[in-house]
């Protein structure tokens, strides 16, 4: 089964394969934040709810919530971000991932944006 990437209007991305999703913030979001200096990640096993905060990212400009794009259980967190929060700036859609989730309701993916729709959404913001 192939992986599919979805985006939220709050600038999170999720790459889904079967019932597992890897979540992070978009390149657009990290550019808006500026230099990331701190990342707070959820505990393993935490149940997150779509649209509710699940992590915090702080930059030299501001602190911002990272919202769960879908509901699920936290299977893994990117501990590298704790010691190297700038990884979010360097590779937001790769090594800068935040959490891995087991989706509790894959139907919640309906309504999220694909890449082209998200790119058009971001163009409309500037």
Class of domain 4-121: mainly beta
Closest CA to 99 of 51, 47, 64: 47
What are the boundaries of each domain within the chain? Answer: 4-121
- Distance (Å, whole) CA 68 – CA 49: 6
Question: What does the pLDDT profile of the chain (126 residues) look like in tens digits?
Answer: 478 999 999 999 999 999 999 999 999 999 999 999 999 999 999 999 999 999 999 999 989 999 999 999 999 999 999 999 999 999 999 999 999 999 999 999 999 999 999 999 999 997
Within the chain, strands assigned E span 4-7, 12-17, 20-25, 36-40, 47-48, 53-59, 63-67, 72-77, 99-103
Q: What is the pTM of this model?
A: 0.95
Closest CA to 101 of 122, 70, 80: 70
DSSP string, 53-69: EEEEEEESS-EEEEE-S
Q: Which residues pair with 76 in a beta bridge?
A: 100
Closest CA to 91 of 26, 39, 37, 33: 26
């Amino acid at each position: 089964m192939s992986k599919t990437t979805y985006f939220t209007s709050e600038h999170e991305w999720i790459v889904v394969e079967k019932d597992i999703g890897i979540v992070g913030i978009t390149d657009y979001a990290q550019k808006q934040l500026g230099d990331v200096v701190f990342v707070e990640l959820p505990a393993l096993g935490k149940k997150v709810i779509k649209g509710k905060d699940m992590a915090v990212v702080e930059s030299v400009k501001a602190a911002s919530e990272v919202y769960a794009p879908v509901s699920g259980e936290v299977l893994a967190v990117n501990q590298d971000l704790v010691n190297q929060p700038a990884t979010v700036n360097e590779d937001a859609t790769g090594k800068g991932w935040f959490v891995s989730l087991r989706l509790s309701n894959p139907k919640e993916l309906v309504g999220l944006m694909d890449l082209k729709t998200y790119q058009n959404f971001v163009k409309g913001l500037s």
